[in-house]
Amino acid sequence: MHTSTIGLWALAAGIVSAKSCFNATVEVDISARNGVFDKIKTPETNLDATTFALASAKTGGNITEEALSGYATVGGRYNISTQYCMPKNSESGSHTLQILTHGMGFDKSYWDLPYHNFNYSYVDYVLSRGYHTFSYDRLGIGKSTHGDAKNEIQSFLEIEALAELTRKVREGSLEGVKKPSKVVHVGHSFGSAQTVAMSAMYPDLSDALVLTGFSASIASMPVFLAGANFQQANLNHPPGCPSTPRPSYSSGYLVNSDIGTNKFLFFCPGNFDEGILSYAEQNKQPMTVGELMTMTGLPTSSAFTGAVYVIDGENDIAFCGGACSYTTDSSASIPAGVKAVFPKASAFSAYVHPNTGHGINLHYNSTAAYKQINDFLGAQGLISESHEHEARHHHDF
Ligand SMILES: *[C@@H]1O[C@H](CO)[C@@H](O)[C@H](O)[C@H]1NC(C)=O
Ligand SMILES: *[C@@H]1O[C@H](CO)[C@@H](O)[C@H](O)[C@H]1NC(C)=O
Ligand SMILES: *[C@@H]1O[C@H](CO)[C@@H](O)[C@H](O)[C@H]1NC(C)=O
Ligand SMILES: *[C@@H]1O[C@H](CO)[C@@H](O)[C@H](O)[C@H]1NC(C)=O
Ligand SMILES: *[C@@H]1O[C@H](CO)[C@@H](O)[C@H](O)[C@H]1NC(C)=O
């Protein structure tokens, strides 16, 4: 299989971020059986995007079913923009790698937000506990190859990209990336949905899963779809730059309309810095109609046998309708319902993190969520051996 990487090492400066990072573009040869959505036209205007949202949010409807004319194998060679980080002065012992898959509205910088000198960085936090990280822009998004928004950039093909990146990393065939002894997959939102699906399709690629901003409930998806007030990425004016929309995205790549809708989708009022909301809006990334139509139809059960951790902000709108502790069934919380997806998991725990919306990493208390996640992983023995001793004395970051 063809492999080529174009890399660039950099030592990140900064007081907190004692890290060495390697940016590389990785070529992957992948294919998947995608949906062919030829019964609807790709939305071209902002008002077409509204029509799409209305069709998607309809009670009792299923836009995927309505648009689908069949399935076809789609694939080729694509570029994926990646970032690998390790602790500065990293010892040469074995290490556990966390592979980070971002959600809709963001790119890989969700995990390493530069805002306030990386004060919110998940990457910095986990490096301090001895892990290495590998993040990437999902296929179609950011600096990774863009594609047809309806029939190409769908969950199915993106999951193959995640699986292929994981194989390359595990076999140590990516230039600049040290071969890990264990791999933990960490997702956010749609990135968590892809992580679950990957574990169902290829259960041996992962040693543990962390699903952030995720639940098995799709009851609140219409609230998310309506709340975004979708516009075309290439017509929507980024704040502060009214004359430069995003020309590299074709029609059918949609963004939330403005800072108000960004707040609605991702934030819990009173629990974040207004400056980071502006940052999120200025750097917002699109989602494709193909992605939106393939969020369901993914595997609903996984035979994965490792440990699984789920964590949601209590006020998550997309996956809990704004109240993750509220349930009408017997489960302890909405995220606790994910347990049913993993009947063979060696360990399962679900946690509701207070005073936080869907975009966990952008809230004041984000590092306390990072601690919850990594305390769980540590308790499962998923920690770099060279760091075990230090980590035991380093629980209050
Ligand atoms: C690596 O990528 C990050 C964003 O993911 C960027 O902020 C940084 O400047 C890049 N570093 C280099 C050396 O290109
Ligand atoms: C990937 O990016 C490199 C460098 O920009 C470019 O030469 C190459 O053609 C790209 N490959 C694909 C599959 O887009
Ligand atoms: C950094 O984050 C902590 C919480 O993790 C917060 O208390 C502090 O105000 C933040 N500082 C800055 C400069 O953002
Ligand atoms: C909608 O239809 C698609 C295609 O038939 C199917 O895979 C998916 O499970 C359906 N979604 C729901 C929520 O029923
Ligand atoms: C911060 O998060 C931790 C872990 O979820 C929680 O125990 C604590 O109450 C939170 N603090 C606030 C102010 O929400």
Q: What does the pLDDT look like over 80-125, one tens digit per residue? A: 999 999 998 777 789 999 999 999 999 999 999 999 999 999 999 9
Q: How many CB atoms lie within 10 A of CB 184?
A: 26
How many helices (H) and strands (E) in the chain? 13, 12
Distance (angstroms) between ligand 5 centre and the Cα of 25 equals 37
Judged against a pLDDT cut of 80, whether residue 72 lies above it is answered with yes
Judged against a pLDDT cut of 60, whether residue 391 lies above it is answered with no
Choose the residue to mutate in 25, 82, 136, 152 for probing ligand 2, maximizing ligand atoms within 8 Å of C-beta.
Answer: 25
pLDDT of residue 393: 38
Distance (angstroms) between ligand 5 centre and the Cα of 242 equals 39
- What are the CB-based long-range contacts (under 8 Å, 24+) for 64-69? 64/35, 64/37, 64/293, 64/294, 64/296, 64/297, 66/39, 66/40, 67/35, 67/37, 67/38, 67/39, 67/40, 67/293, 68/35, 68/36, 68/37, 68/39, 69/36, 69/37, 69/38, 69/39
pLDDT digits (tens, 9 = 90+) for 210-254: 999 999 999 999 999 999 999 999 999 877 776 678 989 999 999
Of all protein residues, whose CA lies closest to atom 2 belonging to ligand 1? Answer: 23
Choose the residue to mutate in 355, 361, 367 for probing ligand 5, maximizing ligand atoms within 8 Å of C-beta.
Answer: 355
Closest CA to 140 of 76, 199, 186: 76
pLDDT of residue 14: 43
Give the 3-state secondary structure of 225-236.
HHHCCCEECCCC
Distance (angstroms) between ligand 5 centre and the Cα of 264 equals 21
Distance (angstroms) between ligand 1 centre and the Cα of 27 equals 18
| Binding-site residues, ligand 2, Cβ < 6 A | 6, 25, 27, 77-79, 145
Instruction: Indicate the residue type of 74.
Output: V
Helix (H) or strand (E) holding 9: strand 5-12
Can you tell me which atom of ligand 2 is nearest the CA of 77?
13
pLDDT digits (tens, 9 = 90+) for 306-358: 999 999 999 999 999 999 999 888 889 999 999 999 999 999 999 999 999 99
pLDDT of residue 331: 84
The whole-chain average pLDDT of the chain stands at 93
pLDDT category of residue 17 using cuts at 50, 70 and 90: low
Please give the span between the terminal C-alpha atoms of the chain, in angstroms, as a whole number.
Answer: 42
Nearest bound ligand to CA 294?
Answer: 4
At a CB cut-off of 8 Å and minimum separation 6, what does 240 contact?
Answer: 282
pLDDT of residue 396: 36
pLDDT category of residue 384 using cuts at 50, 70 and 90: low
Distance (angstroms) between ligand 5 centre and the Cα of 360 equals 12
* CB 64 less than 6 A from any atom of ligand 5: no
pLDDT digits (tens, 9 = 90+) for 361-378: 999 999 999 999 999 999
| Binding-site residues, ligand 1, Cβ < 6 A | 8, 10, 23, 83, 108-109
Judged against a pLDDT cut of 90, whether residue 385 lies above it is answered with no
pLDDT category of residue 68 using cuts at 50, 70 and 90: very high
pLDDT of residue 12: 56
Distance (angstroms) between ligand 5 centre and the Cα of 312 equals 12
pLDDT of residue 79: 98
pLDDT digits (tens, 9 = 90+) for 36-51: 999 999 999 999 999 9
Nearest bound ligand to CA 69?
Answer: 4
* CB 367 less than 6 A from any atom of ligand 5: no
Residue with more model confidence, 391 or 262: 262
pLDDT > 70: what percent of the chain? 92
Question: What average pLDDT does this structure show over 158-176?
Answer: 97
Of all protein residues, whose CA lies closest to atom 9 belonging to ligand 3? Answer: 364
pTM of the model: 0.94
pLDDT of residue 134: 98
Judged against a pLDDT cut of 80, whether residue 154 lies above it is answered with yes
Domain 5-393 has CATH 1.10.540.10: no
SS3 303: coil
pLDDT of residue 245: 84
Of all protein residues, whose CA lies closest to atom 8 belonging to ligand 1? Answer: 23
Least confident of 75-89, 132-146, 201-215, 378-392: 378-392
Distance (angstroms) between ligand 4 centre and the Cα of 65 equals 6
Q: How many CA atoms are closer than 13 Å to the CA of 97, on its beta-carbon side?
A: 24
pLDDT of residue 328: 82
Can you tell me which atom of ligand 5 is nearest the CA of 354?
14
pLDDT of residue 90: 76
* CB 65 less than 6 A from any atom of ligand 4: yes
- Rounded Cα gap, residues 138 and 103, in angstroms: 9
Distance (angstroms) between ligand 3 centre and the Cα of 34 equals 43
